[in-house]
Protein backbone atom coordinates (compact mmCIF):
# COMPACT_ATOMS: atom_id res chain seq x y z
CA UNK A 1 0.00 0.00 0.00
CA UNK A 2 1.53 3.38 -0.97
CA UNK A 3 2.35 5.83 1.80
CA UNK A 4 0.03 8.82 1.79
CA UNK A 5 1.83 12.14 1.78
CA UNK A 6 0.60 14.72 4.32
CA UNK A 7 -1.66 17.37 2.85
CA UNK A 8 -0.58 19.97 5.44
CA UNK A 9 2.78 21.66 4.70
CA UNK A 10 5.50 20.15 6.88
CA UNK A 11 6.28 23.39 8.74
CA UNK A 12 2.64 23.65 9.84
CA UNK A 13 2.24 19.96 10.60
CA UNK A 14 5.29 20.03 12.89
CA UNK A 15 3.97 23.05 14.78
CA UNK A 16 6.79 25.36 13.70
CA UNK A 17 5.80 28.98 13.33
CA UNK A 18 8.19 29.72 10.49
CA UNK A 19 6.74 30.25 7.07
CA UNK A 20 7.87 28.04 4.20
CA UNK A 21 10.93 29.24 2.30
CA UNK A 22 10.08 30.27 -1.23
CA UNK A 23 12.14 31.86 -3.96
CA UNK A 24 10.39 35.16 -3.17
CA UNK A 25 11.28 35.07 0.56
CA UNK A 26 14.75 33.48 0.41
CA UNK A 27 17.64 35.86 1.08
CA UNK A 28 21.20 34.91 0.19
CA UNK A 29 23.35 35.00 3.35
CA UNK A 30 25.97 37.79 3.32
CA UNK A 31 28.70 35.12 3.32
CA UNK A 32 27.76 34.22 -0.25
CA UNK A 33 27.25 37.74 -1.61
CA UNK A 34 29.89 39.50 -3.74
CA UNK A 35 32.18 42.04 -2.08
CA UNK A 36 34.76 44.48 -3.42
CA UNK A 37 38.17 44.31 -1.71
CA UNK A 38 40.48 46.98 -3.07
CA UNK A 39 40.61 46.43 -6.83
CA UNK A 40 39.26 42.87 -6.54
CA UNK A 41 35.62 41.88 -6.74
CA UNK A 42 35.12 38.61 -4.90
CA UNK A 43 32.09 36.47 -5.71
CA UNK A 44 31.72 35.44 -2.05
CA UNK A 45 33.27 36.25 1.33
CA UNK A 46 35.04 32.98 2.01
CA UNK A 47 38.81 33.49 2.03
CA UNK A 48 41.58 30.90 2.37
CA UNK A 49 43.72 32.17 5.22
CA UNK A 50 47.53 32.01 5.12
CA UNK A 51 48.81 28.48 5.56
CA UNK A 52 52.15 26.77 5.34
CA UNK A 53 51.82 23.54 3.44
CA UNK A 54 55.53 22.61 3.27
CA UNK A 55 55.26 22.02 -0.50
CA UNK A 56 58.50 23.66 -1.67
CA UNK A 57 61.55 21.77 -2.86
CA UNK A 58 64.81 21.58 -0.95
CA UNK A 59 66.44 25.00 -0.54
CA UNK A 60 62.96 26.60 -0.39
CA UNK A 61 62.26 26.63 -4.14
CA UNK A 62 58.50 26.62 -4.89
CA UNK A 63 57.51 23.65 -7.03
CA UNK A 64 54.62 22.97 -9.41
CA UNK A 65 52.76 21.11 -6.66
CA UNK A 66 52.09 24.49 -5.02
CA UNK A 67 50.43 25.82 -8.16
CA UNK A 68 48.29 22.68 -8.32
CA UNK A 69 47.36 22.89 -4.63
CA UNK A 70 46.22 26.51 -4.82
CA UNK A 71 44.49 26.18 -8.19
CA UNK A 72 42.34 23.41 -6.68
CA UNK A 73 41.34 25.66 -3.78
CA UNK A 74 40.75 28.69 -5.97
CA UNK A 75 38.87 26.95 -8.75
CA UNK A 76 35.76 29.10 -8.22
CA UNK A 77 36.18 32.44 -10.02
CA UNK A 78 36.30 35.39 -7.64
CA UNK A 79 37.98 33.45 -4.79
CA UNK A 80 40.66 35.10 -2.65
CA UNK A 81 43.57 32.95 -1.51
CA UNK A 82 46.10 34.39 0.91
CA UNK A 83 48.88 31.93 0.36
CA UNK A 84 51.48 30.44 2.62
CA UNK A 85 54.21 32.07 4.61
CA UNK A 86 57.34 32.66 2.53
CA UNK A 87 60.84 33.16 3.91
CA UNK A 88 62.30 36.54 3.02
CA UNK A 89 65.93 35.52 3.53
CA UNK A 90 68.04 32.47 4.30
CA UNK A 91 68.29 33.51 7.94
CA UNK A 92 64.53 34.08 8.23
CA UNK A 93 63.75 30.37 8.01
CA UNK A 94 64.00 27.37 10.19
CA UNK A 95 61.76 24.79 8.53
CA UNK A 96 62.34 22.61 5.49
CA UNK A 97 60.20 22.70 2.34
CA UNK A 98 58.78 26.18 3.04
CA UNK A 99 59.08 28.51 0.03
CA UNK A 100 61.54 31.39 -0.05
CA UNK A 101 61.63 34.59 -2.08
CA UNK A 102 65.29 35.61 -1.81
CA UNK A 103 66.98 34.04 -4.87
CA UNK A 104 66.33 34.14 -8.62
CA UNK A 105 65.35 30.46 -8.48
CA UNK A 106 62.70 31.24 -5.82
CA UNK A 107 61.26 34.05 -7.95
CA UNK A 108 61.02 31.73 -10.98
CA UNK A 109 59.19 29.18 -8.82
CA UNK A 110 56.70 31.77 -7.59
CA UNK A 111 55.94 32.91 -11.14
CA UNK A 112 54.39 29.49 -11.80
CA UNK A 113 51.57 30.47 -9.46
CA UNK A 114 48.88 32.68 -10.95
CA UNK A 115 47.94 36.05 -9.46
CA UNK A 116 48.56 35.70 -5.75
CA UNK A 117 50.28 37.63 -3.06
CA UNK A 118 53.00 36.41 -0.75
CA UNK A 119 52.88 36.47 3.03
CA UNK A 120 56.40 37.38 4.16
CA UNK A 121 57.46 35.23 7.08
CA UNK A 122 60.40 35.49 9.46
CA UNK A 123 60.71 32.98 12.30
CA UNK A 124 62.94 35.33 14.33
CA UNK A 125 64.67 33.61 17.26
CA UNK A 126 63.52 30.13 16.30
CA UNK A 127 64.85 30.62 12.78
CA UNK A 128 68.27 31.71 13.96
CA UNK A 129 68.70 28.59 16.09
CA UNK A 130 67.26 26.11 13.59
CA UNK A 131 68.48 27.29 10.17
CA UNK A 132 70.08 24.67 7.95
CA UNK A 133 73.27 26.53 7.04
CA UNK A 134 74.10 24.01 4.30
CA UNK A 135 71.50 25.67 2.06
CA UNK A 136 72.84 28.11 -0.54
CA UNK A 137 72.63 31.79 0.33
Confidence of residue 104 (pLDDT cuts 50, 70, 90): very high
Facing residues of 118 across strands? none
Question: What's the rounded Cα separation, in Å, for the pair 110 and 106?
Answer: 6
Facing residues of 119 across strands? 85
- Looking at residue 95, its pLDDT comes to 81
- Looking at residue 19, its pLDDT comes to 58
Residue (of 67, 45, 37) closest to 55 by Cα position: 67
Beta-sheet strands, E only, within the chain: 35-37, 40-42, 47-48, 80-81, 85-87, 119-121
- Looking at residue 10, its pLDDT comes to 52
Confidence of residue 133 (pLDDT cuts 50, 70, 90): very low
Task: Give the HSE-up count for residue 81: Cα atoms under 13 Å, Cβ half-sphere.
Answer: 21
Residue 104 backbone phi and psi in degrees, to 5: -60, -35
Residue 133 class from Cβ within 10 Å (0-12 exposed, 13-18 middle, 19+ buried)? Answer: exposed
pTM above 0.85, yes or no: no
136 has a pLDDT exceeding 90: no
130 has a pLDDT exceeding 60: no
Confidence of residue 105 (pLDDT cuts 50, 70, 90): very high
Q: What is the mean pLDDT of residues 78-89?
A: 84
Q: Where are the domains of the chain?
A: 29-130
Amino acid sequence: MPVKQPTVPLHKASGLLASPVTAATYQTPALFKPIKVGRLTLQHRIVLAPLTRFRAYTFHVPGPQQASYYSQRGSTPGTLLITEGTFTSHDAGGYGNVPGIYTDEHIKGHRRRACQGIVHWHTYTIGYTCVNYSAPR
